[in-house]
Structure 1
Amino acid sequence: MSTQPSASLSADRRPLGPSGIALAALDGRYRAAVEPLVEHLSEAALNRNRIHVEVEWFIHLCEKSVLPGLAPLAEEQKAGLRAIVTDFGPEEVTELAEIEKVTVHDVKAVEYFIGRRLEALGLGDKTALVHFACTSEDINNLAYAVGVRDAVEQVWLPSARTAVEAISAMAATAADISMLSRTHGQPATPTTLGKEMAVFVHRLGRQVKRVAAQEYLGKINGATGTYAAHLAAAPEADWQEVARTFVEHLGLTWNPLTTQIESHDWQAELYADIARFNRILHGFCVDVWSYISIGYFAQVPVAGATGSSTMPHKVNPIRFENAEANLELSCALLDSLGATLVESRWQRDLTDSTSQRNIGVALGHSVLALSNVTKGMGQLKVAEPVLAEDLDTNWEVLGEAVQTVMRAEALGGADGLDNPYERLKELTRGHRVDGARMREFVKGLGLPEGAEQRLLELTPATYVGIAADLAKEHGPARG
């Protein structure tokens, strides 16, 4: 039996840091890349958005004069109420947390937080108007919709467009650079590097457009979506119109028919589109990584950076590897959110409350991946000699062109061009064919002079069809 002491950490080791030290990488190592999302999808941002919804509901009810004694507020009173939102900072975050310790209810704490400030605005007699006829989900669904909308429009979409533009720039730069294709991993009809980049630009651009067109739905119709409390208090008011105009005032789309919760279908739609974008970008990262591995791209070394702890010659494709991992994490969370948020037991359960607190994490991993792709693209240089050499050692890919010309000429009445596919198969399968051997074969076919000359002038580097035109026409980033 070993008598060596255990190498495990002792129980009396020093703590690593204060209670605020980050557990997750997004709030630690990668904080700078995802910092903009904090303003929209953190717990503090959620509470600020709740206050925003409560304040605007208060103002809206006064504007609509839906209750006896209500009238539109003075401009300075509205400004004072809205300042509760704009002045919400670290001290207010702490105050709200202290209130919640007593209420043990986050939305009720927001109600009390606002109520404390009404007296100073000359609105102390209207405290009962805060959270009027609302259930917590009336506030939460709107607060989340505002936060997700702003996070997507102000952070995710700009990051996505920047990454797509970086790929688009490569598509433009490499539009005319011929490249050997590999279908099923085997040498195939050449293309251009720019055209292959442009395919991803086109695919990603379509998803960006879908995300940019997303509707963000909201509702404010009470405990089970029936306006029962509203009508009990003010039966003459058109509460559907009041709700519609309020939701639209927040810049959202009104959902007219719900249970206690807004159904979250729009969130599932949005997350599916972002996840699809992620997966296309993941495929791009895999392709670029593979091109780097065969030397098509050279990576520009960063001064002072270390590629490997033991092999100094290496420059690892870490940007694309990091992006792959973060895209996978983002998709896992987005898929889970999309699957769970569209279901709720009867009129409501609270599973969505926990799930939605991870929206920022899901988008954060995507934003981090986008940052890495953008930086990674800026560190790539096309190794044109490598691409040219690869083409020149694979003349057998012209077999497609030769047998297709043979078919065309045979249809035009030329003799001796039977079995074109089989003849090219015999020539090319299982062994390499150089330029001299391919030209010798073409000269022996007895093709009409014009067809023969076209094939004799063809090389793997020029057998790219309209790839360059496709890259230039469809490759520029859009959306």
Structure 2
Amino acid sequence: MATNNDTYTSPLVERNAGPEMIRLFSPQTKFSTWRRLWLELARAQQKLGLAITDEQLDEMAAHLEDIDFSAAAEFEKQFRHDVMAHVHTFGRAAPKAAPIIHLGATSCYVGDNADLLLLRQGMRILAGKLACLIDRLATFAGQWRDLPTLGFTHYQPAQLTTVGKRACLWCQEFTLDLAELEHRIETLPFRGVKGTTGTQASFLALFDGDADKVEKLDAMVAEAFGFSRRCTVTGQTYPRKLDTMAVNTLALIAQSAHKMCNDIRLLANLKEIEEPFETSQIGSSAMAYKRNPMRCERATALSRLVLSLATSPAMTAAEQWLERTLDDSANRRVVLPEAFLATDGILRILINVASGLVVYPQVIAAHVAAELPFMATENILMAAVQQGADRQEAHELIRQHSQAAAHAVKAEGLPN
């Protein structure tokens, strides 16, 4: 029998994502959400006049969480169909309701609507962590707003900025990401009750061609799950472009994280700023003196993973044929959870880093002093022009003298 140590498990679960996100994409959450979808469909159908009893609804409601996964696995071996396996598993737990479970529905009624519910909740989890990160960076920026430091363009010393101002650059990017994430949460539509090809034909048959009742059914189920928007038109699935939009939004977070962490890694090499480093932490198994920025390195690694995953939903959306093709399924089962788990891990790391960044003002001051004569040249240029000099001629003179001074510093090791 396999044990935990001889079976592959995702490092995203073991090492990176938080408990809330891990639970969100668990089989328990997925399939209990399917059962809630079946229950709300039946409740709405009863209210609109179908012959569904309170006893059947109560029985369904009593068995939303107690899923017999072994039975579902056996049914899936028999049927080669995961949705029907869970229809029968639910029916076994609620036998009086078994005849009306999944009535009029297609597999995408539970599969797609559940995915949209998970995407929305996943984005809400990330939004909370993103807001926390923004708060920590804002606190750090306020604390160090007045400490002058070298700016860098092309990773060469440039005009002065402050440690706090630089942190505002990071903070601003995450603020843009949060706005986009909140927009996605607000505008995400529900697939709803659309039938096998989006025509609602099965539900029209159930309600004897009463289109008003079918429209009400769609609206009632969407409302039960807190969606104010519904897909106006679908094939069998919701537009896979919605997956692209969601994962692209996570990729925005990954871009911002990668930029911030790269900056911290560069500054750590200069010994100006470091991520937290615990008392007993080991930087290298060989070089005992090292303080490697492993948190930021891990966040950049995960960020590249998210950026690479973001290409997959776009290709899946482009590949869909006519009303539906199943070559999306195996891909989405991997890409969507992994993108959310990885982004959750990124934000957990960054909150930790931003909460404990270490600043070395004396090192920063020494670097400023070493470059200060060069920093003064822009002010000298402005002063020269104010005194009547030709801007271009003054620029050339300053350039020649600056390059000569830089050569002395670099080639001869002289002070600036």
Q: Normalised by the size of structure 1, how large is the TM-score?
A: 0.77
Q: Are 2:21 and 1:37 equivalent residues in the alignment?
A: yes
Match of 1:405 in 2: 383
Match of 2:253 in 1: 277
The SS at the match of 1:133 is: coil
1:373 pairs, out of 315, 333, 350, with 350
Gaps of 5+ in 2: 409-416
Q: CA deviation at 1:88?
A: 3.2
Give the 5 Å matches for 1:62-461: 62-65=46-49, 67=50, 69-70=51-52, 74=54, 78=57, 80-85=59-64, 87-88=65-66, 92-119=68-95, 124=96, 127-153=98-124, 155-214=125-184, 215-219=187-191, 220-234=193-207, 235-238=209-212, 239-252=214-227, 253-358=229-334, 359-394=336-371, 395-407=373-385, 409=386, 414-415=387-388, 419-432=393-406
CA contact (8 A) 1:272 1:338 kept: no
CA contact (8 A) 1:176 1:192 kept: yes
The SS at the match of 1:341 is: helix
CA contact (8 A) 2:247 2:339 kept: no
CA contact (8 A) 1:248 1:254 kept: no
Q: Distance in 2 between matches of 1:210 and 1:64?
A: 38
Q: CA deviation at 1:322?
A: 0.6
Name the aligned partner's letter for residue 21 of structure 2. L
CA contact (8 A) 2:240 2:313 kept: no
CA contact (8 A) 1:406 1:420 kept: yes
Name the aligned partner's letter for residue 42 of structure 1. S
The SS at the match of 1:314 is: coil
Q: Distance in 2 between matches of 1:165 and 1:20?
A: 42
Q: CA deviation at 1:163?
A: 2.7
Q: Distance in 1 between matches of 2:318 and 2:188?
A: 14
Q: Distance in 2 between matches of 1:107 and 1:118?
A: 16
**C-alpha spacing 1:61/1:405, structure 2 compared with 1 (3 Å):** farther
CA deviations over 1:397-445 (Å, ceiling 9, x no partner): 22112212333x2xxxx445663322322332342499xxxxxxxxxxx
Figure out how many residues of one structure are paired with residues of the other and give that number: 399
The SS at the match of 1:255 is: coil
Q: Distance in 2 between matches of 1:300 and 1:207?
A: 25
Gaps of 5+ in 1: 1-14, 435-479
Q: Distance in 2 between matches of 1:311 and 1:375?
A: 25
2:10 pairs, out of 10, 15, 24, with 24
Q: Distance in 1 between matches of 2:79 and 2:28?
A: 17
Q: Normalised by the size of structure 2, how large is the TM-score?
A: 0.88
Q: CA deviation at 1:324?
A: 0.6
The SS at the match of 1:254 is: coil
CA deviations over 1:112-154 (Å, ceiling 9, x no partner): 22323444xxxx2x5432111111112211011111211221x
CA deviations over 1:53-75 (Å, ceiling 9, x no partner): 1111111111222x3x45xx65x
Q: What value does the CA root-mean-square deviation take over the aligned residues?
A: 2.5
Q: Distance in 2 between matches of 1:300 and 1:357?
A: 35
Match of 2:39 in 1: 55
Q: Distance in 1 between matches of 2:276 and 2:122?
A: 33
Q: Percent identity?
A: 20
The SS at the match of 1:403 is: helix
CA deviations over 1:70-113 (Å, ceiling 9, x no partner): 5xx65x8655433322x335xx3333333323332111122222
Q: Distance in 2 between matches of 1:21 and 1:98?
A: 21
Name the aligned partner's letter for residue 349 of structure 2. N
Q: Distance in 1 between matches of 2:130 and 2:281?
A: 27
Q: Distance in 2 between matches of 1:189 and 1:102?
A: 70
Name the aligned partner's letter for residue 62 of structure 1. Q
Q: Write out the 4+ residue segments of structure 1 that deviate beyond 6 Å after TM superposition.
A: none
Q: Distance in 2 between matches of 1:324 and 1:415?
A: 50
CA contact (8 A) 1:301 1:315 kept: yes
Q: Distance in 2 between matches of 1:328 and 1:88?
A: 38
Match of 1:6 in 2: none
Query: Which one has a larger percent helix, Structure 1 or Structure 2?
Result: 2
CA contact (8 A) 1:225 1:259 kept: yes
CA deviations over 1:330-378 (Å, ceiling 9, x no partner): 2211321233235411211112211221211111112112222222233
Match of 1:468 in 2: none
Name the aligned partner's letter for residue 103 of structure 1. F
The SS at the match of 1:84 is: coil
Name the aligned partner's letter for residue 236 of structure 1. D
Match of 2:413 in 1: none
